Amino acid sequence: MFPFTINPEKAVEELARFNKKLAAGVKTFTEMGPIESGVSPKEAVYREDKLTLYHYTPRVDSPHRVPILVVYALVNRPYMADIQEDRSMIRGLLDQGMDVYLIDWGYPDPSDRYLTLDDYINGYIKRCADFIRTRHDIYRINVLGICQGGTFSLCFSSLHADRVRNLVTMVTPVDFHTPDNLLSLWAQGVDVDLLVDTLGNIPGDMLNLTFLSMNPFRLTGQKYVDMVDLLDEPVKLKNFLRMEKWIFDSPDQAGEAFRQFIKDFFQRNGLIKGVVKLGERRVDLANVTMPVLNVYATKDHLVPPDASKALKKYVGSSDYKEVAFNGGHIGLYVSGRSQAEVPPAIANWLKERG
């Protein structure tokens, strides 16, 4: 059978309908107003260089006594975790009675080129943790690391176990050499010394291009053709644009930190080999002895599940649990199902451990 029922006349009609929809959409665009994101009320409680530590206003009268410090990745902006009211992991945690802090790394500029991973982990994260400990007059806090922020959280917990009561990692790469890790495969041949010595900070656009290259036809083509279907639905269109804003809101990467992350983690797979050194100290996952909850996404194309699940083998904790979310890397934060599943799972696990 001929595989088309399309004929020239139908093709013209379809394109004409498409055009008309697109034309009508321009009006929707101009009436859209500003695209806001990061919706939950919060207060800046500590600042240092480009970093801001936010404290979210609790949504219950008596929040859980141990606050959570959320450590996001350096890539992209942390408002993904609070992108809109009905798609907010932060809000979900607040609704579950958690007391939530979040590190916003800001936008590094050329003066931050020499920031190292030691500065980020033993410096910024440690000082934020100490600020919260002092503020709450508490010895240890809970830490929740997301993606690269999860890797940082593991390093921090290994080196400062006395400050971490419970550790939650979300879509966190641990074994960087699993066969299905496309980003890692691409990173092997990059002359990162040449790159950083030449460019200083690594442009966010360059990282965006790398991410888009994983699904180029879908992410630079089909997605926008599909967007036309949303043009007469302002709410859905605004949600689309909010995601779009986040995707292309990519801070530059501090050069030295990027160099070390690519070499030690992606190229040498140093986290599981125990050869990553921050300052004068070696990161050993066996020192992560506090309870660990590892949340991964089964369809994650950026951090494959096996890359996250490797943590079980190397972590020193005897209280280790995994939560598998049936979805992708982004869906873990923003999908409707994740709102119902993930924050309650995290909060309940933390409450069980006091």
Partner 1 sequence: MDNNPFSTDWMAGWSDLQRKIWDDWSEATQSTWSKNLHADNPMNFFREGLNRWPGFFAPSQQQTPEAMAMRHAMSAMEGFMRMGREVFNVFQSLTPDAGKPGHEWTSQLDQIIKNAKDFFTKNSEAFYGNLNAMGKTGMPTMGMPNIPGMPNIPGMPNLGGMEEMSAFWSRPMKAWSDFLTNNPLFSNDIMRSMLTGDRSMEEMMTRFLSVPGLGFNREKQEKLQEGMRLGLEYRKALEEFQHLTNKSNTRALDLLQQKLLELGAEGKPLQTLRDLYVLWVDCSEEANAEAVTSKEFNALNSRMMNAMIRVRRHMGDVIDSSLGAMNMPTRRELDSAHKQISILKRRLHAMEEELQELRAKDNSADINALRDDMEKLGVRRLREELATLKAQLDDSLLAAPVESSSDKTVIKKTVRIGGAKPQATTGPAQKGE
96-125: contacts with partner 1 (CB under 8 A)? 110-111, 113-115, 119, 123
Ramachandran angles phi, psi of 282, nearest 5°: -90, 135
Count the neighbouring beta carbons within 10 Å of the beta carbon of residue 328. Answer: 17
In the 8-state DSSP scheme, what is residue 253? Answer: B
Q: Give the Cα separation of 52 and 124 in Å (integer).
A: 10
Residue 86 engages partner 1 in binding (rule: CB under 8 A): no
Q: Give the Cα separation of 238 and 74 in Å (integer).
A: 25
Ramachandran angles phi, psi of 22, nearest 5°: -65, -40
Contacts of 216 (CB under 8 A, 6+ apart): none
Q: Give the Cα separation of 9 and 6 in Å (integer).
A: 8
Residue 16 engages partner 1 in binding (rule: CB under 8 A): yes
- Pick between residue 47 and residue 337 the one whose CB is nearest to partner 1: 47
**Burial class of 51 by CB neighbour count within 10 A (0 to 12, 13 to 18, 19+):** middle
Contacts of 305 (CB under 8 A, 6+ apart): 296, 297, 298, 324
Residue 45 engages partner 1 in binding (rule: CB under 8 A): no
Binder among 35, 45, 51, 161 for partner 1 (CB under 8 A): 35
Residue 318 engages partner 1 in binding (rule: CB under 8 A): no
Residue 303 engages partner 1 in binding (rule: CB under 8 A): no
Binder among 39, 45, 241, 323 for partner 1 (CB under 8 A): 241
**Residues designated catalytic:** 147
Which one of the spans 19-27, 149-157, 166-174, 327-335 is the region binding partner 1 (CB under 8 A)?
19-27
> What minimum distance in Å lies between the beta carbon of 124 and partner 1?
10
Residue 218 engages partner 1 in binding (rule: CB under 8 A): yes
Residue 190 engages partner 1 in binding (rule: CB under 8 A): yes
Residue 242 engages partner 1 in binding (rule: CB under 8 A): yes
Binder among 61, 62, 85, 198 for partner 1 (CB under 8 A): 198
Q: Tokens at residue 71, please?
A: 């450590």
- Pick between residue 48 and residue 319 the one whose CB is nearest to partner 1: 48
Q: Tokens at residue 13, please?
A: 């009609």
Residue 138 engages partner 1 in binding (rule: CB under 8 A): no
Residue 3 engages partner 1 in binding (rule: CB under 8 A): yes
Site residue total, partner 1 (CB under 8 A): 74
Residue 36 engages partner 1 in binding (rule: CB under 8 A): no
Ramachandran angles phi, psi of 74, nearest 5°: -80, -25
Binder among 4, 65, 85, 352 for partner 1 (CB under 8 A): 4
Ramachandran angles phi, psi of 223, nearest 5°: -55, -40
Q: Give the Cα separation of 92 and 141 in Å (integer).
A: 19
- Pick between residue 13 and residue 86 the one whose CB is nearest to partner 1: 13
- Pick between residue 186 and residue 313 the one whose CB is nearest to partner 1: 186
Residue 29 engages partner 1 in binding (rule: CB under 8 A): yes
Match 């929740």 to its residue by tokens.
Answer: 144
Residue 319 engages partner 1 in binding (rule: CB under 8 A): no
